[in-house]
Structure 1
Amino acid sequence: MEQADWDALKEQMASPWGSMKLKCDGFEIDLVQMTSPAKKSWSTTVYVDGYLKGVWLDCDHKTGEPKHEETRRFMRKVTRALHTKKDIEVYRKLFGKREATKREAVKFITYDWSWKSFNSLKKHLLANNTSITRITESDPDPTLH
């Protein structure tokens, strides 16, 4: 992808509207801006070959290893603490420092199809795909020939 295409994507992600199509190693990716009225924010949602499949978000929750190729290539890895800081303080009082530290180290790993940061999305796409091209509306569809 050329620098002008990356600049167009960055500009798109700076506003709550817009979409862009990419071809990444045989996958057709739709990057669509979605707004969240509850949070009063927006993010870029990644559709792979026109789909969002919940099964793609699944992974081995201990190692974080994705179970699907689409997950590895296009989804954002999310790591969260399994226990809240408030719970850790309670464990520290009830069971001691060692047990509280053990529980604090336990993390929950999943994947998400939305991105808020352009730099994170670009870095992830470049690291996990060898060929990235922008599909414009004027490009002829090679499947029709």
Structure 2
Amino acid sequence: MEQEDWDALKEQMASPWGCMKLKCDGFEISLSQETDRTKKSWSTVVYVDGYLKGIWLDCDHRTGEPKHEETRRFYRKVTRALHTKKDIEAYRKIWGKRKAAEAEAVKFITYDWSWKSFSSLKKHLLANNTSVARISEI
């Protein structure tokens, strides 16, 4: 894609109801801005070939290795702590600093099909796909 296409896409995605279709290495992806009433924000949701399949979010939660190609190419990796800070403090009291530090280092990795930042989405698409082309506005 040319820089003017990226600028048009960014402008389209600047509103809460923007939509755009792209062709990425044989996959047709639809980028759609969707609002969240409870958080009063919006995010870009990525539909691959017209679908959001929950099976695509499946991965090895310890290493983050995705099981599907669609996951690696289009979805956002999310890393969270497995134990809460309250639990870590309890572990520190019970087992000591070393065990608490080991428990604190354990992370839970999953994937999400929504992106809050357009620049992060653009960077991810360019890094994980050899060709990205604009199809049209929806």
Length-normalised TM-score, structure 2: 0.96
The equivalent residue for 2:46 is 46
For structure 1, the residue ranges without an aligned partner over 5 or more in a row are 138-145
CA distance in 1, matches of 2:105, 2:14: 35
Task: Render the CA deviation track for 1:114-138: whole Å, top value 9, x for unaligned.
Answer: 001111101100000011100026x
**d(CA) in 1 for partners of 2:9, 2:78:** 23
Residue 14 of structure 1 and its aligned partner are, at CA, apart by 2.5
For 2:29, the equivalent position in structure 1 comes to 29
Shift of 1:2: 1.0
The answer (yes or no) to whether the contact 1:44–1:116 under 8 Å persists in 2 is yes
CA contact (8 A) 1:13 1:43 kept: no
Shift of 1:5: 1.3
Return structure 1 stretches of 4+ with deviation > 3 angstroms.
none
Distance 1:13 1:85 in 2: 36
Q: How many residue pairs align between the two structures?
A: 137
- Residue 110, structure 1, aligned to residue 113, structure 2: no
Tell me if structure 2 keeps the 8 A contact 1:12–1:18. Answer: yes
Distance 1:26 1:78 in 2: 26
CA contact (8 A) 1:25 1:132 kept: yes
Alignment map for 1:1-145 (pairs within 5 Å): 1-136=1-136
CA displacement at 1:46 relative to structure 2: 0.1
Using the TM superposition, name which of 103-112 and 1-10 deviates more. Answer: 1-10
- Structure 1 residue 64: Cα displacement: 0.5
- The one-letter amino acid paired with 1:98 is R
- How big is the shift at 1:68? 0.2
Identity %: 83
**How does the TM-score come out when normalised to structure 1?**
0.91
Shift of 1:15: 2.1
Maintained 8 Å contact 1:29/1:46: yes
Superposed CA RMSD: 0.9
Gaps of 5+ in 2: none
SS at match of 1:5: helix
The Cα offsets for residues 84-141 of structure 1, whole Å up to 9 and x where unpaired, read as 112111111111101100100000000000001111101100000011100026xxxx
SS of residue paired to 2:93: helix
Larger RCO (CA within 8 A; separation ≥ 6): 2
